[in-house]
Every structure is written in structure tokens, then in C-alpha cells.
Structure 1
């Protein structure tokens, strides 16, 4: 069992690191606009920060699965992200090309902040694993709520550069806390796992394949929520509603993640919770086109968040249980990278499809949850492939 305070320290470090990841995008954009570089440059710089979240995930995961002193790797990754976003902000005006390089380097460290940290819980939490993943899901929800808001408040008060610096400092504090975590060293450095080598392992294990594919498809719809929220707010002539709806979804996530950490769903298999939750989440999104008014809209977004919390915590439990030891971190970083990719694709498609109306987009979000849950349920019924047997030698 994990020692006293280990989960508290881990959750604090994870929340601070993910807060920096979520908030730095807003802070960098606000800083770029303040120095007169324009929205186009800001968008490209944020893209330089985000794309490596996906492309570097297999490589970073393979490295974390191979090195002997993993704690040093994670500390280096956290400090590298902090230095990268700070460098991108400092260089954005005088040397824009170097700012892009710094943003890319920060993005290459980001997979350790997201899926990488989660992969450590199997060794840190002991027999409190369901509670640990509930708390881990809470750290994501807190970061999603607090990160962008903190970045905007600090930028308005002291400027975008100071907002970036404050978020980088949060990431540095997370690195200091990680130093105190009892992450065991490996007996020896293990090389040989190629980047992306976890993909066959994910497919060969039906529960892992089911939750990975289901959560990725779900993010195609959930990624579109910022566009949908803005359209809903415009339709109701209530500009503040755009931020409130997203906050309601995040608060619902936070509430149910905390509840899951306190009372995990031990009698239901986690791989069943994920597709079931996605299927149920179809309902609030499908109801949104037929309701009217601020409070009913907020209530349905809150409900969707409440449903999503246990599904996400259960997803982490399945990853931990099913991931092969030799590609464990890769499973987490690739899974997180696929979700980021799907969310980015979702928001891009939604932006191009705004002319079709809010109702159509809401039904598309609901349909993505329905398809995701159905795919997850179908993949769970797939039999695990039989192990290959080498032919007997004569």
C-alpha cells in the first residue's frame, strides 16, 4: 500500500502540471496578442505547442518505459515544459522563429504531464488504485476549470508574460513534488521497445482496445463543445453562457470524479462503465436542441459532465490493469495523444460546420457519444486472440 500522503502529493503534482498545460495555451495567446504579433501568429504558436502532444507521445512513452531512473525523467520533463513555454513567451516578439522551437520542445515534454504521470499510479497507489484514478481524473477536471481562468486573470492583471511565468512556476513546483514520490528505479535500462509498439498490445486486449477506441471517438464530439457553447450563447443572446456551459461540464466532471474517488464502482467492471457512460451521455446532448433558456442548458451540461467523470476514471483503471509492463507508459501516452488528436479534429470540423446550425452540431455531439459507446460495447465482446505457439522442432 502507498505510504501516507503519497496520493496527496501525486494529485497535487498532477493538478499543478496539468493546470500549467491547460493554462499556458491561453496565456501564450494573450501575450502574443499584447505584443502585437496577431492572432494568426498566436494560433500557429499554440499549434506548435499542441502538435507534439500527439506526435511525441509514442517516443516519449517508449523512453519512459526504457530508462532506469524514471523519476529523473519526469522531473526533467516537467522542468523542460516550464522552460519551453517561458522561452516561447520571451522570444515571441524579438525572435519569433526561436519561439516556435521553444514551443515544440515544450510540447514534446507534455505527454509526461498527461498520460505519463497517470501511468505511475499503478506503482504508487497499491490497493487504493480505484481511489487514486478517481483523484487523477479530478486533477484533469481542476486543470480544465482553473488553468484557462487563471491565465486570463493573471494576464489581465500583470500581463501575458507574467501569466506564462506563473504557470511555468506551477509546473516547476510539480517537479519538486515528483522528486518526493517513491517511484522505483528499474534494475537496468531496457532498450528495444520501438515507439508505437504499444499499439498491437492495445488491439490484442479487448478491454483496452474498447476503452481506447471508444474514448477517442467520444472526443470527436466533446472537442466541439467550445464551438457549440459559443453558438448556444449567441442564439440565446447571452454571451456569458459560452463560458458558463463549459464550466458547468467541467464542474460536473469534478463532482463525479471526487465521488468516484470516495466510492469507486467496485461491483461493475471498469471496461463496462466506459461504454455505458458514453451511451448515457448521449441523452443530455440530444436533449439540448429541444430545451430553451440558460438554466436548463447549464443543467444538461452539468449532467453530461457528471456522467463523464466516472467513465474517465474507469478508463484510467483499465489502462493500468491491461497495459503490458514493457509498454505501460506508451499505452497511457498514446491513449492521451489519440484523445487530444480527436478533440482537435472535432473542434476543427465543428468550426467548418457552423453554417449548419447549432441543433445539427449538438446532435452530432450526441451521435459521437452513441457511436463511441456502441463501438466500445462491441469490442468488449471480441475474444482475446490466442497466443502464438511456435511450431515444434523435429
Structure 2
């Protein structure tokens, strides 16, 4: 879609995109919480809850191997919509099967949902560049909306599950998520159609392994990948840190929820900031600069002396993380090869989710020594990534 065609049709397309993405990511963001609550409220063990939660999260790594279907398809919307429907039915079937069939069958159904998960996140994001105007300003403003849908999904999903579980049951909460994913499929098919980039020559569409090889060799894409992963790993420590910081600053344990909520609100605030004032300049350079801002946010959290200051620093950390995420979306859009854009989006999304899960597990282990250690490690890792990015760019100029 060129700039001249960007008008009411483009705005309606973006509105449908935001609704579809928010619903899909709400389903993906709340599913793990729903499954854990389903198991624990019915007397299941913690190990079983962990196993079933892993069944829906671990298969995200397989998403990039499915992503090639988006780049091969004559209509990528159909691939994403099918994934939303399959996610919906598999999740509902898993809930119905729990307690009535062997746990391994429930795990298998959840694994099917998990394989679809990346298509509900990075897969939908790959549609955005074809919906809005082709000029950089329109693209980056739209990326602010995309960041907001991730924030909504990560915040609203678990909140809906908690509310419906307390009012009715975790099973009904999971069914609500399944309905959200199904509705997202309908909205995805209402997005504007865009012709496939392969132009009928599917032989030129790179394979999954060729795509990851390209990302490793291409400087900007390589930096997008490792900086996204390391920031996700480091920021995943914040919810764990919030729980343990209450003791450090002498506040009630329940105040951890206020800090975590402040971080989520900060993400939404940052996404609004990107909408109002889209990022300018090279995404490659922006990622390095904004990663330094993330370091500052983590350091501010680490040295917070009181509850109010801690809440404020969590909010600021959320803001800078949203800006950094917007820069990574811009990098994926501008540096990915047209014939492999879907795969690049899903590779980065899958690696980000994996790094975030690893960061949460690592933070849980490290806080046993000191609450500050996960933050210090995160600051060190991001600092190394920023330094490496500057060195790489300097070497590429010579």
C-alpha cells in the first residue's frame, strides 16, 4: 500500500489489526495462568502444573519452522487465521480433557496451541507493514499501536483469567481466551489483502534454516536478534524482583502487585508515546541507544529506597522497554528480506519468548542470594550487547 492510498481504508485496516492483535495476544498471554490455576484449584501437583505450562510455552520455539507457510502462501492472512482457530480449539479441548483423560493427552493438546502461539504474536506483526502507509512515519506510528497490543495482551490476559477464575472457574477463563483467539481469526481475515512477496516464485522463499543463517550473517538483523533476547532476559526479572524488593524496602508483600502493575502501565504509556511521537533514525542505532535507557531503568529500580520511588522506577522501566520494543519492530520491518519477512518476525518473537522464560527462571534462582543480583546480571548483559553492537558497526564501516 503506497502513501497515496493511505486514508480511511488504511485507518480501518489498522483498527481491525489492533483488535485482532489485542485479542490474539490476550489469549496467548493468559493461557499459562489459566492452565496453572486449572491444575492447582483441582488439587493437581505443582510439578503437573509446571509440566502443562511448559507444554504450551516450549513449542513456541517451533513457530519459526511453521512461519514459512506465511511467506509461501498466496494469502498470509489465511495461515494466521487458521493458527488462531487451531489455537482456540486445541486450548478448549485441553481444558475439557483435563481430569478425564491422561495428562499426556492434555499436554499434547496444549502443545498444539503452543505451536500456534508465535503466529498469534510475531505472525500477526508481519502483516502490519502491508496495512499502513509505506512512509516511515506511518510505519513507526503503527508500530506504537503494535507495542500497545503486546502490553494489553500481557496485562489483560492474566487479569481476565484471575477475574473469571475468582468469579466462576479457571476452566471458564480458559474458554474465554479460546473465544478471544477465535474472534481474532475472523478479524485477521478482515485485514486488507496484500499480494505475496514471492510473486508466484516460491523457490525464492528461504527455508527456516536459511533465514536463521541470514540473520546470523546480516549485521543489523543479528543485532536485532541478540539485543532483543538479552533485553527480554533481563526485563523478565522485574516481576520476580518486585516480590523480593518488598522486604528490602520494608513494604507489605502485596505492594509487589503495585510495582508489577506500574511496569505494565509504563509499557502502555511508552507505546502511546511512540504513537504520538514515532521514533526517528536508524533502528539499528536506536536499539543500542534505547538499550542504554533500559540499563538506566534497571539501575533506577535496583537503587529505589522507598515504595513510591520503586513504583515510579518500575513505571519508567516499562516506558523505556516499550520504546526499545518499538525499535526492534522497526528493525524487523526495515531489515528483513521481503520474501522472508514472516520468518524473521517469528524467529525474533520465538527467541524473545524463550529468553524471557529463561530470564524468569534465572531470576528466581538468583534472588535466593540477593534481590539485586538479577538486575546486576541484566545490566551487565545488556551493557555487553550495546558495546558489541557499537564495535560491530564500527568494523562494518571500515
The answer, yes or no, to whether TM exceeds 0.5 is yes
Q: CA deviation at 1:150?
A: 1.1
Does residue 29 (structure 1) correspond to residue 36 (structure 2)? The answer is: yes
- 2:232 alignment partner in structure 1: 219
Q: Retained in 1: the 8 A contact 2:27–2:177? A: yes
Determine which of 77, 87, 92 is the counterpart of 1:81: 87
Deviations 1:48-73 (Å, cap 9, x if unpaired)? Answer: 0001111x122111121112232211
Q: Retained in 2: the 8 A contact 1:279–1:374? A: no
Q: CA deviation at 1:185?
A: 4.4
CA distance in 2, matches of 1:203, 1:289: 33
Q: Per the alignment, do residues 258 and 249 of structure 1 end up closer, same or farther by CA in structure 2, a change over 3 Å counting?
A: same
TM-score (norm. length: structure 1): 0.92
Q: Secondary structure of 2:208's match?
A: coil
Q: Per the alignment, do residues 382 and 121 of structure 1 end up closer, same or farther by CA in structure 2, a change over 3 Å counting?
A: farther
CA distance in 2, matches of 1:39, 1:352: 17
Determine which of 277, 288, 305 is the counterpart of 2:290: 277
CA distance in 2, matches of 1:377, 1:366: 17
- 1:145 alignment partner in structure 2: 155
CA distance in 2, matches of 1:94, 1:213: 43
Q: CA deviation at 1:310?
A: 1.5
> Which structure 1 residue ranges, 5 or more long, are not aligned?
386-394
| Deviates further, 211-220 or 193-202 | 193-202
Determine which of 304, 310, 313 is the counterpart of 1:291: 304
Q: Secondary structure of 2:191's match?
A: coil
- 2:129 alignment partner in structure 1: 122
CA distance in 1, matches of 2:390, 2:228: 12
- 1:390 alignment partner in structure 2: none
CA distance in 2, matches of 1:151, 1:171: 14
Q: Retained in 1: the 8 A contact 2:297–2:320? A: no
| Deviates further, 295-304 or 193-202 | 193-202
Q: Per the alignment, do residues 253 and 60 of structure 1 end up closer, same or farther by CA in structure 2, a change over 3 Å counting?
A: same
Q: Retained in 2: the 8 A contact 1:220–1:368? A: no
> Which structure 2 residue ranges, 5 or more long, are not aligned?
none
Q: Retained in 1: the 8 A contact 2:251–2:307? A: no
| Deviates further, 191-200 or 80-89 | 191-200
Q: Secondary structure of 1:193's match?
A: coil
Determine which of 179, 186, 189 is the counterpart of 1:179: 189
- 1:59 alignment partner in structure 2: 65
Aligned residues: 383
Q: CA deviation at 1:384?
A: 8.5
Q: Per the alignment, do residues 379 and 245 of structure 1 end up closer, same or farther by CA in structure 2, a change over 3 Å counting?
A: farther
Does residue 349 (structure 1) correspond to residue 362 (structure 2)? The answer is: yes
Aligned-residue Cα RMSD (Å) equals: 1.8
Does residue 261 (structure 1) correspond to residue 268 (structure 2)? The answer is: no
CA distance in 1, matches of 2:300, 2:92: 43
TM-score (norm. length: structure 2): 0.91
